[in-house]
Amino acid sequence: MQKIRNIAIIAHVDHGKTTLVDKMILQGNLFRNSEKAGELIMDNNDLERERGITILSKNVSVIYKDYKINIIDTPGHSDFGGEVERVLNMADGVLLLVDAFEGTMPQTRFVLQKALALGKKPIVVINKVDKPNCRPEEVHEEVFDLMFTLDATEEQLDFKTIYGSAKQGWMSHKWQEKTDSITPLLDVIIDEIPEPVMLEGTPQMLVTSLEYSSYIGRIAVGKLLRGTLKSGMPVTLAKRDGETMIKTRIKELFVFDGLNKAKVDEVQCGEICAVVGVDGFEIGDTITDYENPDPLPPIAIDEPTMSMLFTINDSPFFGKEGKYVTSRHIKDRLDRELEKNLALRVEPGPSAESFVVYGRGVLHLSVLIETMRREGYELQVGQPRVIVKEIDGRKCEPVEELNIDVPDEYSGKVIEMVTKRKGQLENMESKNDRTRLVFRIPSRGIIGLRSNMLTATAGEAIMSHRFVAFEPWKGDIELRINGSLIAMETGDSFAYSINKLQDRGTFFIDAGEPIYCGQVVGENTRSEDMVVNLTKSKKHSNVRASGSDEKMNIAPPKKFSLEEALEYIQADEYVELTPTSIRLRKILLSETDRKRGAK
């Protein structure tokens, strides 16, 4: 019987979780010397590598001194909070990673709160002590204060702290003493993290995450809490509702071995395993005894705070760039996503070819949209809307805590921008020429704030926010003041007409780009929408004059990323998404329809 330790690594975005896992993998010699181990081994899909963030939780195991350490790398963004909560159920303890310079951040609080509430024992790792002006001792105090405010037990407050730099690959008990490996951390994990509780009796396994293989279908992953599982044994699948019981059989069992899975015939209690052959399961179901089913309580997941309308692409350019364009394709894809994305919900929209998709925030939904784009889907998405609830007869909306870190000279501008959006300043502290501001602001106010904030602070602002609660409606918020420039006709845009219209506003398109009637091609300098003709070329005559052929200076167009486009559009606009382009358009393409609708 192998000795096992199950740990989850939790932290704020960019504090170095995935890098630390990489170093543990290398310490466990999972790569042969001939294999080149890349950076961020765990972030293995394109989107995660591009954005430099972890989106999906992943499992890996490392063998150290006869112990098998199962490590689970979790996302830091609160938009993927659904992922973190599920995964903590599999761990017996957590490594809380904190940046030695930034200290405890909103997400640190968010993930730590979840872990402490589940009664997990923390080990604190203060990372990046190689940075200049880091403050490890102060950060250690901050972590202790944070745990105290989160009602940690005496045992949880008696935590061990390790200092080090995951990037340079060393950990130590004192931050001044640099070592040559991360073994001090692995020793502390073995000493401090409790081993899984061994319970005899009928098997019980809570399905906490899900993997998909095109060869063997859906795979249920979870920790076996009691008893043993054998391949080929008959089991009962107890659904989340506590009523439905499905009789089924396990075909194959796997455990995590390094970065891969190893096939086994039997899994002992306390091990994290993957089960193949159980059909129709969902996350939160229990795999239990065939004769006497004994389901575990299902996982509670935070509910969504934002919704968006997904619809088919019906613009004049539909089907030119994507492979999947019909509503049936989009529906099938959303249904597949629902199977593994816990915090997502989908409802039928106002028309047959539209769907209302609910998620945890703009980032959560935009990751889904970006993944669909890359898979060859074409779709259109409406403006993100917050979910409004009726509580005790009052209209309530989600409110978030917003942390902004800016240089001192910009703090006035930032406070003005956030208070315009109904934010309330709760705390303000200045340190080393930078000010950290803490606001309480409706989620509506955060939509579109980031791009304006970066413009106002010359790109210096660092923003992060987390959902707090539903509170009474705060009133109307003025989001975008400028109107749109809308294309009058379909055709190719000409540099000549863009040049003549430059004083009317900023353009989003290049010269020579194909456009269609009703597409939003720029931002007006005034507040109303304006229809412009960009398909008008210069009329050539035989007469030459020295002044008539002046040189054109066209400003480069403003290009949007997906999140910027989603946050930029107004209620009467859609973002049209295809594998190669992101376009903004009016919902009603013809000007007469728009005028009729405005009456």
User: What does the DSSP 8-state code read for residue 78?
Assistant: G
Instruction: Please tell me the predicted confidence (pLDDT) of residue 38.
Output: 47
| pLDDT above 70: residue 56 | no
Under CATH, which number does the domain 389-472 receive?
3.30.70.240
Using one digit for the tens of pLDDT, what is the confidence trace for 143-196?
Answer: 888 888 888 888 888 888 888 887 888 888 887 888 787 888 888 888 888 888
Lowest mean per-residue pLDDT among 19-33, 311-325, 488-502: 19-33
The CATH number corresponding to 3-192 among 3.50.50.60, 3.90.1530.10, 3.40.50.300, 3.40.50.2300 equals 3.40.50.300
User: What does the DSSP 8-state code read for residue 541?
Assistant: -
Q: Which run of H or E residues covers position 408?
A: none
Using one digit for the tens of pLDDT, what is the confidence trace for 375-432?
Answer: 899 999 998 888 888 888 888 888 888 888 888 888 888 899 889 888 899 888 887 7
Instruction: Please tell me the predicted confidence (pLDDT) of residue 31.
Output: 41
Position 521 confidence tier, pLDDT thresholds 50, 70, 90: very high
Percentage above 70 pLDDT, the chain:
88
Position 300 confidence tier, pLDDT thresholds 50, 70, 90: low
Average pLDDT over residues 113-120: 82
Using one digit for the tens of pLDDT, what is the confidence trace for 553-593?
Answer: 888 898 888 888 888 888 888 999 999 989 999 988 888 88
Instruction: Please tell me the predicted confidence (pLDDT) of residue 8.
Output: 83
Assess contact for 443 and 422: CB atoms under 8 A. Answer: no
Average pLDDT over residues 306-317: 90
Average pLDDT over residues 311-334: 90
User: What does the DSSP 8-state code read for residue 134?
Assistant: -
Exposed/middle/buried for residue 59 (C-beta within 10 Å: 0-12, 13-18, 19+): buried
| pLDDT above 90: residue 597 | no
Under CATH, which number does the domain 484-539+551-572+582-598 receive?
2.40.50.250
How far lies 588's CA from each of 186, 192, 457, 485, in Å?
60, 62, 36, 14
Instruction: Please tell me the predicted confidence (pLDDT) of residue 446.
Output: 84
Q: With both helix axes pointing from N to C terminus, report the angle between 17-27 and 183-192 in degrees, rounded to the nearest 10.
A: 90
| pLDDT above 50: residue 309 | yes
Using one digit for the tens of pLDDT, what is the confidence trace for 24-34?
Answer: 777 665 444 43
Distance CA 397, CA 445 (A): 11
| pLDDT above 80: residue 18 | no
What CA dihedral angle connects 19, 21, 22 and 28, to 10 degrees?
A: 150
Distance, C-alpha 575 to centroid of its chain: 20
More confident residue, 273 or 43: 273
More confident residue, 15 or 237: 237
Distance, C-alpha 6 to centroid of its chain: 24
Distance CA 222, CA 250 (A): 14
Domain map (residue ranges) of the chain: 3-192, 204-289, 389-472, 484-539+551-572+582-598
Lowest mean per-residue pLDDT among 51-60, 254-263, 332-341: 51-60
More confident residue, 198 or 492: 492
Assess contact for 250 and 275: CB atoms under 8 A. Answer: yes
Instruction: Please tell me the predicted confidence (pLDDT) of residue 287.
Output: 86
Q: With both helix axes pointing from N to C terminus, report the angle between 106-117 and 81-88 in degrees, rounded to the nearest 10.
A: 30
Assess contact for 433 and 484: CB atoms under 8 A. Answer: no
Exposed/middle/buried for residue 405 (C-beta within 10 Å: 0-12, 13-18, 19+): middle
What CA dihedral angle connects 303, 308, 312 and 315, to 10 degrees?
A: -170
Assess contact for 72 and 51: CB atoms under 8 A. Answer: no
Q: Which of 25-39, 252-266, 535-549 has the highest mean pLDDT?
A: 252-266
CATH architecture of 204-289: Beta Barrel (2.40)
Distance CA 142, CA 203 (A): 42
Using one digit for the tens of pLDDT, what is the confidence trace for 323-373?
Answer: 888 989 999 999 888 876 767 889 998 988 899 999 887 878 888 898 899
Length of the chain: 599
pLDDT, averaged across the chain:
81
More confident residue, 296 or 351: 351
